[in-house]
Amino acid sequence: MSFPKQNDFIDIHTHGAVPSPGIFSVETLMAHEERIPMETAGLAYTSGIHPWNLNDENHDRLLLYVEKIASYESVIAIGEAGFDKIKGPSMDLQQRTFEEQVYIAGKLRKPVVIHCVRAWEELISAHKKLKPATPWLIHGFRGKPELGMQLISKGMYLSFWFDFITRREATPLIQSLPVDHIFLETDGSGADIRNIYKKVSGDIGIGVDELKIQMLKNYTVFFNRNN
């Protein structure tokens, strides 16, 4: 299985990644696309059912795909899975499908990568109900510091929306959160992960190389690579 090197920039959540020297990417396999992961240097995968692509008719097929793909060694997490009150099917179907994916993650001892839009109460309630055996990562986060700390206090990790995190108004959020519970991402946007690292390292007041070391530590803990 591919694993980031000490000097790599880690892009924790992306789509359509192209291997690039010095960048380690975690590619998202969307269940409705039914792609098969490849063993590629500098690349690992997550796989899950995104609420945007879920409906009553395809639920069973998508879940079977996730159950199959999740066992691949190169698939290091389940997701992105989650809740969306703006786009997606009924919240009942979203909740049931999310719980099914958390069950798969727990069975395989793999973390969960989460998409959440205006459904924080549902997410926090699910965490309380399910008592997950593996950690959760909220991708694309751009909420208030208070919400960020609430999620982190429950053991979750945050990765920030690529466009938001490079803005000046994101600096107070970055500075308010523990660096050992954050990640950085491009989400397949074409943004340069190196520029995101540069901005965030300046916000925190450390060098880019030091931030790289911290992100590798976070990766190792989150994906339980110490064992």
Give the pLDDT band of residue 224 (cuts 50, 70, 90).
Answer: confident
Average pLDDT estimate for 8-27: 96
The runs of H, that is alpha helices, within the chain are 59-69, 91-108, 120-130, 145-153, 162-165, 171-176, 193-204, 208-222
Give the pLDDT score at 1.
Answer: 64
What pLDDT, in 10s, does the model give residues 76-128? 999 999 999 999 999 999 999 999 999 999 999 999 999 999 999 999 999 99
Give the pLDDT score at 17.
Answer: 92
Helix (H, G, I), strand (E, B) or coil at 3: coil
4-37 CB burial, b ≥16 within 10 A, e <16: beeebbbbbbbeebeeeeebbbbbbbbbeeeeeb
Give the pLDDT score at 35.
Answer: 93
Residues 6+ apart with CB under 8 A from 3: 24, 44, 225
* Cα(170)–Cα(189) distance, integer angstroms: 18
Give the pLDDT score at 227.
Answer: 43
What pLDDT, in 10s, does the model give residues 203-221? 999 999 999 999 999 999 9
What pLDDT, in 10s, does the model give residues 120-146? 999 999 999 999 999 999 999 999 999
Record the pTM.
0.96
Residue with tokens 């340069």: 192
Q: Could you tell me the domains of the chain?
A: 9-222 (3.20.20.140)
Closest CA to 123 of 78, 82, 72, 179: 82
DSSP code, position 15: S
Average pLDDT estimate for 31-57: 95
